[in-house]
Structure 1
Amino acid sequence: MAEFTGFPVAALDFYDDLEVDNTKTFWAEHKEIYDESVRKPMTALVALLEGEFGPAKIFRPHRDVRFAKDKTPYKTNQGAFVAKGPSLGWYVEVAAPGVLVGAGFYEASPERLAAFRDAIADERRGTELEKILAKLKKAGWIVGGDRLKTSPRGYDADHPRIDLLRHKSMSLSKSYGFEPVIHTPELADQIRRDWRAVTPFIDWVTATGP
């Protein structure tokens, strides 16, 4: 296994150029850069984190364009995801804007979403989530995810946690952009600290079931 030394500037430049020329010709001519500057360091990074968080799925670079209006063939970022549960876990990506870390759940069955909302509505559990999110936002994390524009069925619009109840998915993200640390081995330790910081949120969602 290669040693992780950070993501080189060439990784960001690769995606910067790919956004301009997202073609199979460009990819074929620059595949060696992708392999050495993107895929190789990402593989080394998640290997360092595997002992604590588990094995990661490194996403394929090709887009699934079968049902998409956008037919460009390649993703403009390289992501990796460590699953804690169904559609739930920790995330890291490198792209033209730099490095981003995240965590959360990206989709839920009707039964799981109902359990998630029941936990938010519960005074004790919902307050616990509010405290977790408040602490993370204070540390620079951004809360995202798909949300209903109206109140979910069965909940009043004046519920004290209606903004959280509108979520159909929920994510937390933090960008390092072009900070010098992304080009160094210390990035692995920083991401480890980040993932530890959002683990209380992951655990909270896991406990909601089903």
Structure 2
Amino acid sequence: MTFAGFPDEGLVFYEGLEADNSKTYWTRHRPDYEAHVRAPLQALVDELADEFGAAKIFRPYRDVRFSHDKTPYKTHQGAVVNPDGRGAGGWYVQLSADGLMVSGGSWRLESDQVARYRRAVADEVQGGRLQKEVDRLSAAGWDTEGERLTRVPVGFPADAERADLLRHKSLHATRRWIPADWLHDRRALDEVRNAWRDVTALNAWLADNVGATTKEPRSRR
């Protein structure tokens, strides 16, 4: 399937789901989700796979086991690319009633990765590289996001250079677009491709300085 844009019906589907997040609504409108959300998203990431790698499309169902919010369905559809061997740094795209969102970087880091990240940020050369890249992305319209502490972590001076970056426990850059005509045709493919290219340097820094976790995966009981 060739990507031809995200149909307006996909955004309308999510508007309805936000108003009625129920199994009844989902069952009735499941064909709309498949045709106007999942299928075009699959086509989009398939066309980007040669350059960025194969994507994982997330399940539309929420994990409500440990949440007070028991609504069963996500009100957005996302896909992520995490290239093998990099350990840190990937690409993300998401469709919702609010429009399109793209992101690049790392969304969750284990403790050993956080430690390496902080050492690199504190390093004059590597920290300077990251600050320069974050500043460039900010000037280009990206938001710097990720879980962060309220204070500089223990072991670093409160007035440390790049203190804001040191507070991060994960780091990614995000751009959002409200619905527009280009979302419904192949221009959306160009926007996502160009945006993902724009965060390639950030991903490379994370891969070089953070890498994969060395922690053993938690056993399942």
Please tell me the TM-score bracket, short chain as reference: over 0.9
Distance 2:127 2:22 in 1: 47
Distance 1:86 1:22 in 2: 35
Alignment map for 1:32-181 (pairs within 5 Å): 32-84=31-83, 85-86=86-87, 88-181=89-182
Q: What SS class does the counterpart of residue 151 from structure 1 fall into?
A: coil
Distance 2:87 2:207 in 1: 9
| Contact 2:88–2:203, Cα closer than 8 Å, also in 1 | no
1:88 CA drift (Å): 3.2
Q: For structure 2, which runs of at least 5 residues remain unmatched after alignment?
A: 212-221
TM-score between the two structures when normalised by the length of structure 2: 0.92
Between 1:115-124 and 1:180-189, the stretch displaced more is 180-189
Between 1:81-90 and 1:184-193, the stretch displaced more is 81-90
Distance 2:93 2:30 in 1: 21
Distance 2:181 2:117 in 1: 38
1:87 CA drift (Å): 5.8
One-letter amino acid matched to 1:30: H
| Contact 2:102–2:175, Cα closer than 8 Å, also in 1 | yes
| Contact 2:89–2:204, Cα closer than 8 Å, also in 1 | no
Distance 1:171 1:112 in 2: 14
Distance 2:5 2:158 in 1: 46
Cα shift readout 1:111-163 (whole Å, capped 9, x = no counterpart)? 11100010000011111111111111111111111110111110111001110
Q: 1:87 to 1:128 in 2, by over 3 A?
A: closer
Distance 2:99 2:88 in 1: 24
RMSD over equivalenced CA pairs, Å: 1.0
One-letter amino acid matched to 1:108: L
| Contact 1:176–1:182, Cα closer than 8 Å, also in 2 | no
1:209 CA drift (Å): 3.1
Q: Paired residue for 1:202?
A: 203
Distance 2:164 2:88 in 1: 21
One-letter amino acid matched to 1:62: Y
TM-score between the two structures when normalised by the length of structure 1: 0.97
One-letter amino acid matched to 2:68: K
Q: For structure 1, which runs of at least 5 residues remain unmatched after alignment?
A: none
